[in-house]
Amino acid sequence: MLGRWWRRSRLSTVAEVGRPLLQGYASRHPARLIAYAAGTGALIALFKPWRLLSLGMVAGLLFRSTDVAGFLSDCLVPELGDTESPRDDFLDLP
């Protein structure tokens, strides 16, 4: 269920595109990348942006950016398995 949500999420696309860029940068400047991460974490902890968001707003953003019908079908019918792979069983028919 969570894997399907992640594959359909816009954040997974950003992570897939950003991973090669970050890997190259991390191999060249590992200390600088750690310093940037620590600074970003400190700024987030200092400003606490989660206090600006209500629970309804977060739920609305999550439901708007995901496939709710697909998520519910995965919850209700887990025995069907992964339906993301292409079906080629129709080629086996005579």
Residue with tokens 């707003």: 57
Q: Using CA of residue 64, residue 5, residue 48, residue 18, what is the dihedral sign? A: negative
Tokens of 85: 């792979």
| Cα gap 36→23, rounded to integer Å | 14
Enter the DSSP assignment of 46.
H
* Residue 5: predicted pLDDT: 73
13 vs 58: CA distance, rounded Å: 20
Map out the domains of the chain as residue ranges: 14-80
Query: How would you write the pLDDT of the chain (94 residues) with one tens digit per residue?
Result: 677 777 877 788 888 999 998 999 999 999 999 999 999 999 999 998 878 888 888 777 777 655 666 666 667 765 555 555 555 555 555 5
- The pTM of the full predicted model, rounded to 2 decimals, is 0.50
